[in-house]
A and B are shown apart, each in its own frame.
Chain A
Amino acid sequence: MELSIDRLTKQYGRKIAVDCVSTVLKPGVYGLLGENGAGKTTLMRMLCAILEATAGEVFLDGKEICALGAEYRDLLGYLPQDFGYYPNYTAKEFLLYMAALKGIPREEAEKRTDELLEVVSLKEAASKKVKTFSGGMKQRVGIAQALLNQPKILILDEPTAGLDPKERVRFRNLISDYAAGRIVILSTHIVSDIEAIADKVLLMRGGKLVSQGTVPELTKEAEGKVWELSVSKMEAKAWQEKAAVANLRHEGEQVVLRILADNKPAEEAMPCETTLEDLYLYSMRGNK
């Protein structure tokens, strides 16, 4: 299975939300990383065929996805960023409704719904109305509905938003287990989530796909560009003004800065190991 994105572009008036994105996605987990407005959601909506591209196409095994229609949707699981629900339905009823929309026979839907409610730790709350749920619980209902039809292509827009740390770990494990033989695309601001589960990271900026690769490949890009510098509190403020400071921690009277720079920012600066977050922040420097 191969999802090819060919020069995909979406333009709203003068604003280009997604700018000529091309890539090929094979089974695995893809983390879509980018700041707000980078075009992640727009790209995902086009991959789901719910938003028409201004230019470019998406192919699944060589066939254009819009032409595949229901056949493509049958392979698709999607969790939108602003996940809508029916307030008066219980979690179970909502999932059964979604299962019917996905064309899953009733008996199978009942079984699958029970399984997924267990998976997302909502079995106890299955008969409670969704409107009474917390944000995290609603998000878990959303994740469950995306998994109902055991999709071959799973697209999750900010799936970990609203989940507590324990649930995030649970979700990451679920996706890792689920991803075998499937294409999973997820976007999030939480870099550690992507770092933990993504086989490949797609880095977007200003609608463009600026970088892509595995976490080690990408962190290599930022190698030699991350520095640690110990300065006084007074100096720390000045450094924050003039350099891209990824992190700062207090150590007694001193402040240890993590600085992103192409060249050694100061004599005393020491190179340090890079992380995905460093790369992310490094590539976003221009938007500071």
Chain B
Amino acid sequence: MELFRLEHKKLWRKNSTRICVLLCVFYCVVFGSFMIYQWITYGSTDNFSSHNFDGYENIRNCQAYSQKYGVLTDESLQEWVTDFKSLYAQLRDERKTQGAENPETVYRVNNSDMYTINGWLKTLYPELERADMLGVTVMSDYVETEKLTGIYERREKAIDTFLEISGQTGAERDYLLRINERVKGPFSWKWTDGWSNVLGNAVSGLGTILALFLAVVLSALFAGEWHDNTSALLLTTRNGWKKLATAKILTGFAFTLELFSMVAAGMIILQLVYLGTEGWDMPIQMVKMIAIAPMNMLQAEIYEYAFTLLGALGFAGVVMLFSALSKNHVLALLLSMAVAYGPMAVKNNVPVVLQQAFDLLPLVGSGADVFRTNTFHLFGHYIWSPYLIIWVPLLIGVLCLKPAVKGWARRMKG
């Protein structure tokens, strides 16, 4: 335990560790959360392009606008579309009569959650979408309100169609539909755009950033001993390389946990400050209608954070393996980055089987799979991908540990 404490202290003493942590926290919390909430994404816009530095207040207004709809039913959806149409008509009228939109009207249109709800309409009522209006206006501006009926039946049909188009038929389809059966309506309806960003971008994208900083810090964990020329000292001590290797592995995992916790805590605090807890109990279907997971927003967020943490721990195991096998920490860094960013870069251009295999690699897959209908076919059974991609990366990391210790011992003994 003492050795672990000191090894951990040694890691944190390094300037490179401190700089990496600072940059990672700054990027994820300050740039990726604070700036997004306060300015880049949620700052109000009164001209459809630039944003003001008033995200906090603007989010409150957005939340207030959506609150009145309460529950998603045919009636509430029609009510929203009617409201939107009148708002949009006002905007068009202003453009025509005054030559420009009234900033106040633009502001209200933008606060109406229109991007998410247009997504619903396109998914659930594809036949009502007009090709001639593409690029001219949004669907909720021209859609015939009275035709927006049977929303939950429409959702079931949309899932069916999607599975068919995706080639997911037979037993796979039945399996996915069984999962979907646990999704119960009617859905609670609050402002969704905030949750959409949290679950679709912020948390699910966290792994990509963590991979970089974990690789930089942990690639020197074992390989750094060669740089410091300490192998002769280590090998002649009672605890030798064996207990030190264990202390290093624990340090690697502890650091991963700490870095993750710092970033996650910062992001969650800012999320609570800006979005509050409103809408936590909305089903994730409010972000993506054809999602089949019986989860609410909070559960999905917990899943995504857990996915990132377990992926990060798995990735830490992989980095430590490279660090232990290489005498050069730069080489260990390059190999670690190649393992994460290589598959990420080519993922979309390889056959589906390979894509699925890549998804199992630490930090390569995405926690946002809870919104998808991906499955793995193993030993005659279908497994919904989020069940598998959350554990396999950790398993890969754990499996790396034994060869890491063995490899390091072999190298140390020269």
Give Cα distance in the complex from A74 to B239, angstroms.
9
Could you tell me the distance between the alpha carbons of A109 and B237 in the complex, rounded to whole angstroms? 14
Q: How far is the CB of A131 from chain B (nearest CB, A)?
A: 11
Report the bound CA distance from A149 to B239 in whole Å: 12
Contact residues of A between 74 and 133, Cβ < 8 Å to B: 74, 76-78, 80, 82-89, 93, 96-98, 100-103, 105-106, 109
- Which residues of chain A have C-beta atoms less than 8 A from B13's C-beta? 86, 88-89, 93
Instruction: Tell me whether A97 and B6 are in contact (CB under 8 A).
Output: yes
Contact status of A45 and B240, CB under 8 A, knowing A50-B413, A51-B414, A89-B10: no
B9 / chain A contacts, CB cutoff of 8 Å: 93
Of the candidates B3, B233, B238, which one forms a contact with A149 in the assembled complex, judged by CB atoms under 8 Å apart?
B238
Residue A48 CB within 8 A of the other chain? yes
Q: List residues 232-278 of chain B with CB under 8 A from any CB of chain A.
A: 232-240, 243-244
| Given the contacts A101-B237, A101-B244, A82 and B229 also touching, CB distance less than 8 Å | yes
Asked if A73 lies at the interface with its beta carbon under 8 angstroms from chain B, I say yes
| Distance to closest chain A CB from B183 (angstroms) | 53
- Is residue A70 contacting chain B, with contact meaning CB distance below 8 A? yes
User: Which residues of B lie under 8 Å from residue A50 when comparing CB positions?
Assistant: 231-232, 235-236, 413-414
Is there an interface contact between A48 and B2, defined as CB atoms closer than 8 Å? no
Q: Is the CB of A73 within 8 A of B233?
A: no
Known: A84-B229, A87-B228, A93-B9. A102 touches B235 (CB 8 A): no
How far apart are the CA atoms of A52 and B414 in the complex, in Å? Answer: 9
Are A73 and B238 in contact, CB atoms less than 8 angstroms apart? yes
Residues of A close to B14: CB separation below 8 A? 88
Interface residue? A145 (CB, 8 A): yes
Q: Assess whether B15 is interfacial by the CB under 8 Å rule.
A: yes
| Cβ-defined contact, B236 with A78, below 8 A | yes
Question: Are A101 and B232 in contact, CB atoms less than 8 angstroms apart?
Answer: no
Residue of B nearest to A50 (CB): B235
Taking the complex as formed, is B230 at the interface, i.e. its CB lies under 8 A from any CB of chain A? yes
Least Cβ–Cβ distance between A2 and chain B, in angstroms: 20
Contact of A78 among B3, B225, B233, B413 (CB under 8 A): B233
B228 interface neighbour in A78, A86, A106, Cβ under 8 Å: A86
Q: Who on chain A is nearest to B227 by CB?
A: A84
Chain B neighbourhood of A101, CB < 8 A: 3, 233-234, 237-240, 243-244
Residue of A nearest to B232 (CB): A80
Say yes or no: A145 contacts B233, CB within 8 Å. yes
B interface vs A, CB < 8 Å?
Answer: 2-3, 5-7, 9-10, 13-15, 225, 228-240, 243-244, 413-414
Indicate if the CB atoms of B3 and A100 lie closer than 8 Å: yes
Q: How far is the CA of A103 from the CA of B228 in the complex (A)?
A: 21
B413-A103 in contact (CB<8A): no
B238 touches A85 (CB 8 A): no
Is there contact, CB below 8 Å, between B233 and A84? yes
Q: Which of A45, A87, A88 has the most CB of B within 10 A?
A: A88
Residue in chain A with minimal CB distance to B234: A101
Cα(A84)–Cα(B13), bound, Å:
17
**Could you tell me if B413 and A85 are in contact, using CB atoms closer than 8 angstroms?**
no
- For the complex formed, measure the closest distance between the CB of B115 and the CB atoms of chain A, giving whole angstroms: 49
Q: Could you tell me the distance between the alpha carbons of A89 and B9 in the complex, rounded to whole angstroms?
A: 9
Cα distance A105–B1 in the bound complex, in angstroms: 11
B414 nearest CB across to chain A (Å): 7
Contact of A100 among B232, B239, B240, B414 (CB under 8 A): B239
Minimum CB–CB distance from A22 to chain B (whole Å) comes to 23
Q: How far is the CA of A132 from the CA of B236 in the complex (A)?
A: 26
| B229–A86 touching, CB < 8 Å | no
* A103: chain B residues within 8 A (beta carbon): 237-239
CB distance from A158 to the nearest CB of B (A): 13
Closest to A45 in B: B232
What are 10 A-to-B residue pairs whose CB atoms are below 8 Å?
A: A48-B232, A50-B235, A70-B238, A84-B232, A84-B233, A86-B228, A88-B10, A100-B3, A101-B234, A103-B239
Given A51-B414, A102-B239, does the pair A86, B234 have CB atoms closer than 8 Å?
no
Q: Which residue of chain B lies nearest to A90 when distances are taken between CB atoms in the complex?
A: B13
On chain A, the residues within 8 Å of B6 by CB distance are: 93, 96-97, 100
- The residues of B that contact A86 with a CB separation of less than 8 Å are 10, 13, 228, 230
Quick one: which of A227-254 are within 8 Å of B by CB?
none
Q: Chain A's nearest CB lies how many Å from the CB of B149?
A: 68
- When the two chains form their complex, are residues B236 and A76 in contact, meaning their CB atoms are under 8 A apart? yes
Task: Name the one of A52, A93, A96, A98 contacting B237, with C-beta atoms under 8 angstroms.
Answer: A98
Q: Are B232 and A52 in contact (CB-based, < 8 A)?
A: no
Contact with B along A31-58 (1 / 0, CB 8 A): 0000000000000010011111000000
In this complex, what residue of A is CB-closest to B16?
A88
Q: How far is the CA of A139 from the CA of B410 in the complex (A)?
A: 28
Bound Cα distance from A98 to B10, whole angstroms: 12
Smallest distance from the beta carbon of B227 to chain A beta carbons, Å?
A: 9
Task: Looking at the assembled complex, report how far the CB atom of B343 sits from the nearest CB atom of chain A, in whole angstroms.
Answer: 34
Q: Given A50-B413, A96-B6, A101-B244, does the pair A85, B237 have CB atoms closer than 8 Å?
A: no
CA A80 – CA B414 in complex, angstroms? 15
Which residues of chain A come closer than 8 Å to B414, judged between CB atoms? 50-51
Bound Cα distance A100, B235 (Å): 13
Q: A52-B413, A74-B238, A93-B9 are in contact. Are A106 and B233 (CB under 8 A)?
A: no
Q: Is the CB of B15 within 8 A of A88?
A: yes
Out of B3, B228, B230, B236, which one reaches A73, CB within 8 Å?
Answer: B236
- Residue in A48, A49, A82, A103 whose Cβ sees the most chain B Cβ within 10 Å: A103
Contacts of A45 in B (CB 8 A): 232
4 A-B pairs with least C-beta separation:
A84-B229, A84-B230, A101-B237, A80-B232
Alpha-carbon separation in the docked complex, A42 to B14 (Å): 32
Q: A97-B10, A100-B2 are in contact. Are A78 and B232 (CB under 8 A)?
A: yes
Residue with the greatest number of chain B CB neighbours at <10 A, chosen from A80, A93, A105: A80
Q: With the chains together, A275 CA to B233 CA distance in Å?
A: 35
Give the docked Cα–Cα distance between A77 and B225 (Å): 19
CB distance from B214 to the nearest CB of A (A): 20
Nearest chain B CB to A80 CB, angstrom units: 4
User: Nearest residue in B to A80 (C-beta to C-beta)?
Assistant: B232
A88 to B12, CA, bound (A): 10
Q: In the complex, how many angstroms separate the beta carbon of B329 from the nearest chain A beta carbon?
A: 14
Q: How far, in angstroms, from A145 to B413 measured CA to CA in the complex?
A: 21
Shortest beta-carbon distance, B61 to chain A, in Å?
50
* Bound Cα distance A76, B6 (Å): 22
State whether A102 touches B10 (Cβ < 8 A). no
